[in-house]
Structure 1
């Protein structure tokens, strides 16, 4: 069952870093180009944003300017839960870490600078540990 209690959400985050690097790129039109398998898409007036593995974007010759590590918070957060995003974004920001968030049905997915992804996981684990003590 999806969790709504902020203290339980924070203490149960269990951040998990995927091994691959991801990029954000954009293509014209509303369709994903053949052969691409994006992890996520966002339709915007300017084009279709694709979140892809870096190697897939490179193979397709797609431009990007941000390489990210993908962290999944393994707590099953309710889509209407209040405060989780603000709490982890504030904590990451205090450490100079930007964060792009995509909410899935079961989990929140954070995209942070790839070269600082392990640091971001440590910051999130520390936040979770402090939440257990509170």
Structure 2
């Protein structure tokens, strides 16, 4: 009985360590990212003069890093890069809240909060709508 208890405890410990360590994990070579699109009530694209992506907890502005990692230049009509694998190593095995802020004429016209996560290989969207309507 004691032996099976110890075996279970060791197994649970190993499982927890494996979840926190990415050693030996095989990942795909795809680059995961997701972007925000804005539209009006008629479905027309809403252009922004500027946008920001802020880590809600730390206050860190992630916008420039995400823009630099994108495979395309963002256009004023969108889509607007939100989060991608450029952050996977830094944010590995964590979940965080990001705030997307869109600006026109120097005024914030939209703000939306997203929950994102990163594992050993890629990032993923946990919560939040990527297609926003004004």
Q: Name the TM tier (shorter chain).
A: under 0.3
TM-score, L = length of structure 2 = 0.28
Higher strand share: 2
- The structure that is helix-richer by fraction is 1
Q: Between the two structures, name the one with larger relative contact order (CA 8 Å, sep ≥ 6).
A: 1
Query: Which structure has the larger Rg?
Result: 2
